[in-house]
Structure 1
Amino acid sequence: MTNDLPKGFRAGTAAANFKKAGRDDLGLIVSDRPCVLAGMFTQNLFKAAPVLVCQEILASRGTARAVLANAGQANACTGEEGLANCRATQKMAAEAAGLDARDILPISTGVIGAHLRMDLWRAAVPALIQSLGSRDAEGFTRAFMTTDAFPKFASREVMLSGGGVRLTVMAKGAGMICPNMATMLCVALTDADVDRAPWQAMFGRAVDKTFNRVSVDGDTSTNDTILGLANGASGVAARSEADLALLEEALTAILATVSHMLVMDGEGASKVIHITVTGARDDRDAELAARSVGHSQLVKTAIYGGDANWGRIVTAVGYSGAQFDPARVGLRLCGVERFRLGRPVNDDQEEKLAQLLKARDVEVEIDLGGGSGSYSFQASDLGHEYVTLNSDYRS
C-alpha cells in the first residue's frame, strides 16, 4: 500500500456485495480531527438522498470528519425512506467508529431508484471499521467505482511558506458526465490548515476550471458531488495571499489531472477532444460555442471514426447561441487550418488529418474572430461501446 493520503486521514473498505460479490463496494475515510469542509453538488432537481444530507451538513456545520462511500445503489428518487436510510448508514458507521453521525458525509452511486440494502450495510460495517488504516487512495477509489475502467486518483505535495502540505483527490465517473457545479463523485483531501471561507472560494474556482469543463455524454447525474476536506494535520497554515494562491494553483492542477481521467475513461471512448474557443464577444459566448461542439453527437462520432468533418464542428458552433459573424470564423483541426473567414481551406490535407486523428488527444481550435472571450473544454468521442454499456446497465 502506498501512503498517499494526507496526514491525519485513514481509509478502509469492505465487500458488502451490493451488486457484485467479492469486490469492495463500501469505503470510509476518517480524519483524526475535524475538517474544514467545501462542497459542490449537482444542479439536477432530482437530488439523491446523500446529496441532500451533504448539503445540510455543509450549510449547518461547515465541518466534517469522514466520507462514507458506496457503489451499487444511488439512493436517488427514493423519497423519505431513502433519506432515513441514508441517515441510518451515517449512524451505523458513526457508532462503530466513535464519531458523531453528523460528522459523516455520505456519497452513493449506482442505479437510480434502488434503495440501500440495509441488511448488507449492517453486515459490512464491522469489517469496514476494522480495515481503517489499511487502504490507500487507490483502494478507497475502487470501492465506489461503477463502470470505470480504472481508478481515478492523484496526490501531490505543495510547498507553502511554513512547509509542505499534501493534496489527494479521488474520483469516479465514466458516464453521465456533464457536470454543473460538480462531477460524478469526487473527494479531495488536504492536511493544510486553511480557513473555511477561502477554502470554499478556491474550491469553487478550481472546480469551475476543471470538472465543470469536461463532458462524456451530456448527462448530469442525480448524485454529482465533489467534497473538499482540510484537516490542518500538517501544522502548516495557508493564511497569506501568497500561500492561498499556491494552494489554489496546486488544487486546480490536481483537479485538472483527475477530471481529465474522467474524459479519458468515458464509456466507450477512445479519444479526448480538446476544444479551445477564442475571439468570442465574451467568455460566456466562448463557453456556449465550446460546449455545443463538445456535446454534438455528430462531432463526437466523426472524431471516433477519424473523419475530419469540419462541417459538423462549425455547424455546432452555429447553433450554440453564441453571437458572432460567420464570415470571420476560423477553425484548426489537429493543428491543420480547415476553415478561414467563413470558407474551407486546405482541402488537400485530408490524408494528413486521417493520420493525425488516430491520436488519443484531438485538438479543435475555433476562432470566432470578434473579441477577447475564450473558453476551453474537454469531451470524449462516442463509439459503439457506449451503447453496449448503457443499454444493459441495470443487468
Structure 2
Amino acid sequence: MLSIPKGFKFSCINAGFKYINRNDLTLILSETPAAGAGVFTKNKFQAAPVTVCKETLSNSSYVRGALINAGQANACTGAEGITDCKKTLELVAKGLNLKSSDLLPASTGVIGPRFDMDKWELAAPRLVETLGEADPVQAAKAIMTTDKFPKLAWGSVKSENGSAQILGMCKGAGMICPDMATMLGFIICDAEVDPVWWQETLKRCVDKSFNCITVDGDTSTNDSVMAFANGASNYKTDSPETRDALEAALLDVCQSLSYMIVQDAEGGTKVMSIKVSGARSDDDAKLIARAVGNSPLVKTALFGEDPNWGRIVAAAGRSGAEFNPDMLTLRFGKITVFKEGKPVEGDMDALLDPIMRKQDIEIIIDLGDGDGTARLMASDLTNEYISINADYRS
C-alpha cells in the first residue's frame, strides 16, 4: 500500500502549456521547512530551472517543495528564461505566503520556446487553491511527457524512536542517459536529517541508480533529482545505524524508479541488465557497460530477440577500456557464449531462444583482469522509438 510521508501536500492542474485534457503543472509542498538536496545534469546547456535550483540550494539548506511543469523545458532560453523561471516561483510563492526561494523549479518538454507567462498568471492561483486535493499518483501523472505510466516507489524505516516514510516519483522514457535525459525525480521523506548528509546521501544513491541506466545515450538539459526531508516523523538520523537504514531505503526507492524508466523506454520492449566484472578499474568497467548499453547494434539485436554476441564483444572492444580480449568471457544469464577470447561450441541460438523472449535479459561480462565492476540497465531500440521522436514536436 502506498504510504505518504507526513507533512506533505500535492496540487495538480491543467495549465494548458502543451497538453489538452490532462494536468501539466504540479506542486509538492512540505508544511514545514525541509532539508533540500539536488543532483543535476552535467550537460553544459543547463536549463533555467536547473540553474535556479543550484543557486537556491547553494544559499539555503532548507526549502519547502518543488514546482514542476510539463510541456516546456525552459532550456536554451537565455537570461529571459531565468527571469521567467523566477517569476513562476514568485507567482506561486505569493499565494502560499512564502518566499520564491522556498520552492525549487523543474521543467520538462521541448527545448527552446519561452514560457507563456499569461498562462502562468492564470494557473498560479488555481494551483494554490487546490493544494491538498491531489495525491501522489496524480502528481506522478502530471509530470509525464512521453511516459506510458506514472512511476512511483516507496518504503519505510524503523528505529526504537519511531518510523519514517519515503516516497519517490519520476518521469522519463526517452533522452535517458543521466550523468549527474528528460529525466526528473522527486523524493519526499519525513525523517529528520542533517542537510549536508542528506545531499551526500542523495548523490551516492543517484550514482547507484539513475546514473546506471540508459535508453538512448542522450543526456538532457533538465535532468534533476531532488529530495526533501521535513522531520515530521519521530525518526532521527542520529546514529550510524539509523543513517544506514535510511540510505538503504532511499537507494531502494531510486533503483526501483530507475528500473521503471528503462521498462518504460520510448518504444522499448526489453530491459537489459549489464554486469561487468574483472576490469582493471571501475571506470574501465563503466566504459564497457555504457558502450554495450548504448550500442544501436546491440539494442536492435535485443529488440529482434537475436543473441548476436558479436555485437556485444565488439562494443566492449571499442569502449576505450583497457583489457586483454583473450580473457573476456560473456554470458547471457547462466549460459556462456564466449569464453577467453573465443566462442563456445554448441547451438547457442537454440539455447538462448527462451532467454531472448523474456522482457528482462541479463548480460554478464567478465574481463578476468582485476577488481573493477559496473552495472547498467539499458533498453532495446525499436521502430516505435524512431516514430515517437520523429513526431515529438508535431
What TM-score comes out, normalization by structure 2 length? Answer: 0.98
- 2:360 aligns with 361
Q: Distance in 2 between matches of 1:311 and 1:6?
A: 48
| Residue 276 of structure 1, CA deviation | 0.3
1:232-247 equivalences in 2 (<5 Å): 232-247=231-246
The C-alpha deviation readout for 1:66-90, integer Å capped at 9, x for no partner, is 2000001100011111111101100
**1:123 and 2:122 matched:** yes
For 1:354, what is the secondary structure of its paired residue?
Answer: helix
- 1:28 aligns with 27
The C-alpha deviation readout for 1:100-149, integer Å capped at 9, x for no partner, is 11101110001000111111111122221122111121111111110000
Counterpart amino acid of residue 254 in structure 1: V
- 1:332 aligns with 331
- 2:80 aligns with 81
Contact kept, 8 Å, 2:275 with 2:365, in 1: the verdict is yes
1:183–1:255 CA distance, 2 compared to 1 (3 A): farther
Contact kept, 8 Å, 1:182 with 1:212, in 2: the verdict is no
1:51-200 equivalences in 2 (<5 Å): 51-181=50-180, 184-200=183-199
Q: Distance in 1 between matches of 2:195 and 2:182?
A: 21
- 2:202 aligns with 203
| Residue 198 of structure 1, CA deviation | 1.0
Contact kept, 8 Å, 1:40 with 1:182, in 2: the verdict is no
Contact kept, 8 Å, 1:268 with 1:383, in 2: the verdict is yes
The C-alpha deviation readout for 1:10-46, integer Å capped at 9, x for no partner, is 0011001111222100000111111111111000010
Q: Distance in 2 between matches of 1:181 and 1:160?
A: 31
Q: Distance in 2 between matches of 1:264 and 1:373?
A: 27
Task: State which drifts further: 68-77 or 229-238.
Answer: 229-238
Q: Distance in 2 between matches of 1:10 and 1:48?
A: 26
Contact kept, 8 Å, 1:4 with 1:136, in 2: the verdict is no
Contact kept, 8 Å, 1:3 with 1:136, in 2: the verdict is no
Contact kept, 8 Å, 1:300 with 1:381, in 2: the verdict is yes
Contact kept, 8 Å, 2:181 with 2:222, in 1: the verdict is no
For 2:34, what is the secondary structure of its paired residue?
Answer: strand
Q: Distance in 2 between matches of 1:319 and 1:334?
A: 23
Q: Distance in 2 between matches of 1:337 and 1:92?
A: 60
| Residue 3 of structure 1, CA deviation | 6.8
Extract structure 1 runs of 4+ deviating beyond 6 A.
Answer: none
Structure 1 unaligned regions, length at least 5: none
- 1:18 aligns with 17
- 2:265 aligns with 266
For 1:274, what is the secondary structure of its paired residue?
Answer: strand
- 2:295 aligns with 296
For 1:322, what is the secondary structure of its paired residue?
Answer: coil
| Residue 183 of structure 1, CA deviation | 7.0
Q: Distance in 2 between matches of 1:345 and 1:373?
A: 25
Contact kept, 8 Å, 1:48 with 1:222, in 2: the verdict is yes
Counterpart amino acid of residue 229 in structure 1: F
Q: Distance in 2 between matches of 1:182 and 1:114?
A: 18
- 2:3 aligns with 4
For 1:154, what is the secondary structure of its paired residue?
Answer: strand
The C-alpha deviation readout for 1:251-289, integer Å capped at 9, x for no partner, is 001100001100001101000000000111121111111
- 1:348 aligns with 347
Q: Distance in 2 between matches of 1:134 and 1:160?
A: 31
Q: Distance in 2 between matches of 1:83 and 1:335?
A: 52
Task: State which drifts further: 333-342 or 51-60.
Answer: 333-342
- 2:316 aligns with 317
Structure 2 unaligned regions, length at least 5: none
Q: Distance in 2 between matches of 1:126 and 1:3?
A: 29
For 2:42, what is the secondary structure of its paired residue?
Answer: coil
Contact kept, 8 Å, 2:10 with 2:131, in 1: the verdict is yes
Say what the alpha-carbon RMSD is for the aligned residues.
1.2
How many residues are aligned here?
A: 394
Contact kept, 8 Å, 1:177 with 1:221, in 2: the verdict is yes
| Residue 225 of structure 1, CA deviation | 0.5
Q: Distance in 2 between matches of 1:28 and 1:363?
A: 38
Percent of paired sites with the same residue: 48
The C-alpha deviation readout for 1:209-254, integer Å capped at 9, x for no partner, is 0000000000000000110111001132111111100000110011
- 1:50 aligns with 49
The C-alpha deviation readout for 1:146-189, integer Å capped at 9, x for no partner, is 00000011121111342110000010000110001187111111
Task: State which drifts further: 234-243 or 22-31.
Answer: 234-243
Q: Distance in 2 between matches of 1:329 and 1:298?
A: 20
Q: Distance in 2 between matches of 1:347 and 1:266?
A: 34
